[in-house]
Amino acid sequence: MNTSQIYIAVSIVVLALIALVVLFRGKSRKKNRLTPLAGLASGFILAGIIFGDDRFISYSLLGIGVILAVIDIFRKSKSNSTVRLTN
């Protein structure tokens, strides 16, 4: 196995472990629905990954996605007083 195949194998194992943790821990939590702003942020991040050949476009789309995600976090934290970003 060369180096890139090892990275891919490790990534698949880590993603499988994360999926298992989410599967078992997610049943005990209440359902959190994805907001439209979070969905838009995910779409921009995914588009940034897909258009990774052109760095300017890729980083711009990733940056827009991260900014939208942060805005969504702040909006959720203001509407739900139980969620806190600091201790």
Cβ-contact 48, 61 below 8 angstroms? yes
> pTM above the 0.75 mark?
no
Which DSSP category does 51 fall into?
T
Residue 2: band (very low, low, confident or very high) from pLDDT cuts 50, 70, 90: confident
More confident residue, 49 or 8: 49
Tens digits of per-residue pLDDT, 24-72? 776 666 666 778 898 899 999 888 888 888 889 889 999 999 999 999 9
